[in-house]
Amino acid sequence: MPKGPSPKDVKKSSSGKVDTTIIVALIALIGTLGTALFNSPVILEWIRNKPAFTASPAQVQPPSSSASPASVVSVPSPAGGDADCLTQHFADIDSARQMSIEAGATNQDYTILSQDLSGNNIIGPIGIRLTQNGKMIAALSFLFISDNRLFKITSLVDSNCQAVAEYSNVDRGGDRNTIQDSDTLKIVLAEGSFSLRFIFYGANNFRFNFLQL
């Protein structure tokens, strides 16, 4: 006759069923409690009345950037870098007695002021700004001795406002600061060699030719 399950086997089987049932019951209980909790009028009212989160100014920071601001390159105007030099060099020369001559210019005239022609043997000083592509490369000043028709160089500086070391009267030699009517001054600068011809033209004009050699 077949043997029935022993009491020990029945205990094991019952224990397994009890454990599974407890787990399922716990899960169902947690679900029920959660649903009841979130459906509670008290909880719903608290959620509705809870103020929205607003960041304080201290919490809101602009994005940082390790890159430094772009540098600003200053581009001077043709006369911008020369202003200080000319202010110093032409300090005692009235603006009406100043002129600019661009390299390559020929027959450029300066009209002598009427007050300078009224019985004066010495005219000036006159200031000349020598330029290349609009940029000052040298500046000079001179006096004109009308009785002798002589141009007397009183100063000559380069673009850095430093005295020019190398210049000469290429027509006569001798004193490089004494230029006779229609003579040419050779000037050696960092930008190259140039010639400046001085001419007493007509009754009341100086005429200049300024060329790069």
> Can you tell me the mean pLDDT for 120-128?
92
Q: Would you list the domain boundaries of the chain?
A: 80-212
pLDDT at 52: 55
pLDDT at 202: 84
Under 8 Å between Cβ of 189 and 158: yes
Give pLDDT tens digits for 18-62. Answer: 467 777 677 777 767 666 665 666 666 666 666 555 545 445 454
If one compares 43 and 209, the residue with the highest pLDDT of the two is: 209
Kindly tell me if the per-residue pLDDT of 15 is higher than 60.
no
What is the rounded CA–CA span in Å between residue 187 and residue 168? 7
The average confidence (pLDDT) of the chain is 78
3-state secondary structure of 71: coil
Helix residue ranges per DSSP H, 58-117: 83-89, 114-117
Kindly tell me if the per-residue pLDDT of 1 is higher than 80.
no
pLDDT at 50: 60
pLDDT at 76: 35
Give pLDDT tens digits for 78-121. Answer: 344 567 777 778 888 999 999 999 999 999 999 999 888 887 78
Residue 92: name the closest of 125, 128, 57 by CA: 125
pLDDT at 41: 64
Under 8 Å between Cβ of 161 and 89: yes
pLDDT at 185: 97
pLDDT at 143: 96
pLDDT at 46: 62
**What are φ and ψ of residue 8, in 5° steps?**
-65, -45
Q: The pTM is what?
A: 0.61
Kindly indicate the confidence band of residue 66, based on its pLDDT and cuts at 50, 70 and 90: very low
Give pLDDT tens digits for 131-186. Answer: 999 999 999 999 999 999 999 999 999 999 999 999 999 998 899 999 999 999 99
